[in-house]
């Protein structure tokens, strides 16, 4: 299984904010779209990623005001990325080693989507179910 398989199922919509978007507006967008992270894009270029974890650790715990803080002040710059042809195992390794939950997917310097740990786990579970079903069919023949 590859990253492209996940994007094929979930779609490759890119939900993003700019680096000068307020944290409050970014959180509203994340709530509206029911997502845990936003890509930060400036002039079509990936400049960072902003997650609920960034908010909790860099705004709430530091007493900053969401309406007065720009995403650029707290985003994770130069996020780890994957390519559509990368394996799900590669993604799991990066997410586990780096303690991250979201990976932007980049192809030819263009953002092609984003996958989450939930997407990876769901894909693995589905693949295992298919393997189990195939084995059951093989055994029962």
The b/e string for 52-86 (b: 16+ C-beta within 10 A; e otherwise) is eebbeebbeeeeeebeebbbbebbbeebebbebeb
Instruction: Render each residue's pLDDT in the chain as its tens digit; 141 residues.
Output: 899 999 999 888 899 999 999 999 999 999 999 999 999 999 999 999 999 999 999 988 888 899 999 999 999 999 999 999 999 999 999 999 999 999 999 999 899 999 999 999 999 998 889 888 888 888 887
Strand-pairing partners, residue 40, are: 17, 48
Q: What integer pLDDT is reported at residue 75 of this predicted model?
A: 95
Structure tokens at 6: 């996940």
pLDDT at 113: 94
Pick the CATH number of 3-140 from 3.40.50.720, 3.40.50.920, 3.10.580.10, 3.30.930.10: 3.10.580.10
**pTM, rounded to two decimals:** 0.86
């Amino acid at each position: 299984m590859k990253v492209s398989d996940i994007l094929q199922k979930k779609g490759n919509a890119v939900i993003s904010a700019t680096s000068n978007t307020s944290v409050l507006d970014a959180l509203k967008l994340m709530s509206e779209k029911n997502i845990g992270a936003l890509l930060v894009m400036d002039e079509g270029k990936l400049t960072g990623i902003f997650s609920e974890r960034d908010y909790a650790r860099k705004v709430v715990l530091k007493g900053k005001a969401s309406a007065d803080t720009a995403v650029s002040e707290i985003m994770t710059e130069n996020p780890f990325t994957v390519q559509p042809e990368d394996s799900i195992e590669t993604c799991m390794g990066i997410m586990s080693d780096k303690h991250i939950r979201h990976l932007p997917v980049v192809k030819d310097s263009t953002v092609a989507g984003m996958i989450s740990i939930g997407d990876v786990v769901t894909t693995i579970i589905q693949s295992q179910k298919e393997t189990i079903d195939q084995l059951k069919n093989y055994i029962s023949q």
